[in-house]
Amino acid sequence: MESEWQGLLQEARELECSWQPQYRALVEAAYAEPALRALYPFTSHWALRFSSTTRPSLTLGSPCLSACSDGTYGVGTGFITPDLGVFATAPEAAALAVRHLPTGFGPVTLGRPLTP
Protein backbone atom coordinates (compact mmCIF):
# COMPACT_ATOMS: atom_id res chain seq x y z
CA MET A 1 0.00 0.00 0.00
CA GLU A 2 2.77 2.40 0.85
CA SER A 3 4.21 2.04 -2.65
CA GLU A 4 0.79 2.89 -4.12
CA TRP A 5 0.58 5.96 -1.92
CA GLN A 6 4.11 7.03 -2.83
CA GLY A 7 3.29 6.61 -6.52
CA LEU A 8 0.14 8.73 -6.16
CA LEU A 9 2.01 11.42 -4.24
CA GLN A 10 4.77 11.54 -6.85
CA GLU A 11 2.26 11.64 -9.71
CA ALA A 12 0.32 14.45 -8.01
CA ARG A 13 3.50 16.48 -7.58
CA GLU A 14 4.69 16.00 -11.16
CA LEU A 15 1.47 16.46 -13.14
CA GLU A 16 1.45 19.37 -15.51
CA CYS A 17 -2.19 20.26 -15.97
CA SER A 18 -4.75 22.73 -14.68
CA TRP A 19 -6.00 20.20 -12.08
CA GLN A 20 -2.55 19.61 -10.55
CA PRO A 21 -2.79 21.90 -7.49
CA GLN A 22 -6.20 20.56 -6.45
CA TYR A 23 -5.32 16.96 -7.18
CA ARG A 24 -2.07 17.27 -5.24
CA ALA A 25 -3.88 18.81 -2.26
CA LEU A 26 -6.45 16.01 -2.34
CA VAL A 27 -3.88 13.20 -2.39
CA GLU A 28 -1.75 14.85 0.30
CA ALA A 29 -4.76 15.47 2.57
CA ALA A 30 -5.90 11.86 2.24
CA TYR A 31 -2.39 10.59 2.94
CA ALA A 32 -2.25 12.74 6.09
CA GLU A 33 -5.27 10.87 7.51
CA PRO A 34 -4.03 7.60 9.10
CA ALA A 35 -7.37 5.84 8.53
CA LEU A 36 -7.24 6.58 4.78
CA ARG A 37 -3.50 5.96 4.50
CA ALA A 38 -4.14 2.45 5.88
CA LEU A 39 -6.35 1.67 2.84
CA TYR A 40 -5.39 0.85 -0.75
CA PRO A 41 -5.73 4.08 -2.81
CA PHE A 42 -6.72 4.28 -6.44
CA THR A 43 -7.77 7.10 -8.74
CA SER A 44 -9.83 7.84 -11.81
CA HIS A 45 -10.92 11.13 -13.34
CA TRP A 46 -9.23 13.21 -10.59
CA ALA A 47 -11.16 11.31 -7.93
CA LEU A 48 -9.53 9.37 -5.11
CA ARG A 49 -11.05 6.16 -3.83
CA PHE A 50 -10.02 3.54 -1.31
CA SER A 51 -10.22 -0.23 -1.22
CA SER A 52 -9.85 -2.82 1.51
CA THR A 53 -8.22 -5.17 -1.02
CA THR A 54 -5.37 -4.69 -3.49
CA ARG A 55 -5.60 -5.08 -7.24
CA PRO A 56 -6.85 -6.82 -9.27
CA SER A 57 -10.15 -7.14 -7.38
CA LEU A 58 -10.70 -3.87 -5.54
CA THR A 59 -13.34 -3.68 -2.83
CA LEU A 60 -15.50 -0.59 -3.09
CA GLY A 61 -17.55 0.85 -0.25
CA SER A 62 -15.56 3.79 1.05
CA PRO A 63 -16.29 7.45 0.30
CA CYS A 64 -14.95 8.96 -2.91
CA LEU A 65 -12.98 12.21 -2.77
CA SER A 66 -13.02 14.49 -5.80
CA ALA A 67 -11.55 17.78 -6.90
CA CYS A 68 -14.39 19.88 -8.30
CA SER A 69 -14.00 22.26 -11.24
CA ASP A 70 -14.87 25.28 -9.06
CA GLY A 71 -11.90 24.71 -6.75
CA THR A 72 -13.79 22.88 -4.03
CA TYR A 73 -13.50 19.27 -2.88
CA GLY A 74 -16.36 16.81 -2.82
CA VAL A 75 -17.03 13.70 -0.79
CA GLY A 76 -19.59 11.19 -1.89
CA THR A 77 -20.88 7.67 -1.64
CA GLY A 78 -20.66 7.13 -5.39
CA PHE A 79 -18.16 7.97 -8.06
CA ILE A 80 -17.67 11.76 -8.29
CA THR A 81 -21.03 12.43 -6.64
CA PRO A 82 -20.45 14.82 -3.71
CA ASP A 83 -23.62 13.80 -1.89
CA LEU A 84 -21.90 13.81 1.53
CA GLY A 85 -20.52 17.32 1.24
CA VAL A 86 -18.49 19.93 -0.62
CA PHE A 87 -15.62 21.72 1.13
CA ALA A 88 -13.27 24.62 0.52
CA THR A 89 -10.21 22.61 1.53
CA ALA A 90 -8.94 19.12 0.86
CA PRO A 91 -8.23 18.38 4.56
CA GLU A 92 -11.87 19.08 5.40
CA ALA A 93 -12.99 16.65 2.70
CA ALA A 94 -10.53 13.98 3.84
CA ALA A 95 -11.71 14.32 7.45
CA LEU A 96 -15.32 13.78 6.39
CA ALA A 97 -14.31 10.73 4.35
CA VAL A 98 -12.74 9.25 7.49
CA ARG A 99 -15.97 9.81 9.43
CA HIS A 100 -17.91 7.97 6.70
CA LEU A 101 -15.67 4.92 6.41
CA PRO A 102 -17.76 1.78 6.90
CA THR A 103 -17.22 -0.06 10.17
CA GLY A 104 -14.75 -2.87 9.66
CA PHE A 105 -13.51 -1.55 6.29
CA GLY A 106 -9.93 -2.85 6.41
CA PRO A 107 -7.31 -3.88 7.13
CA VAL A 108 -6.24 -4.32 3.54
CA THR A 109 -5.91 -7.85 2.19
CA LEU A 110 -4.64 -9.13 -1.14
CA GLY A 111 -7.14 -8.90 -3.96
CA ARG A 112 -8.00 -12.20 -5.63
CA PRO A 113 -7.27 -12.68 -9.31
CA LEU A 114 -10.31 -12.26 -11.50
CA THR A 115 -11.55 -15.59 -12.78
CA PRO A 116 -12.88 -16.00 -16.32
The pLDDT of residue 49 is: 93
Cα gap 6→93, rounded to integer Å: 20
Look up the domain containing 51 and give its range: 2-99
Q: Regarding predicted confidence, which is higher, 3 or 116?
A: 3
Residue 82 lies in a domain: yes
- In a domain? residue 107: no
Number of domains in the chain: 1
**104 within a domain of the structure (yes/no):** no
Is residue 18 one of the residues assigned to a domain? yes
66/22 Cα distance (integer angstroms): 9
Burial class (CB in 10 A: 0-12, 13-18, 19+), 90: buried
Name beta bridge partners: 106.
Answer: none
> Is 68 a domain residue?
yes
Residues 48-91 have pLDDT tens digits of 999 999 988 888 889 999 988 889 999 999 877 888 999 999 99
* 77 domain residue, yes or no: yes
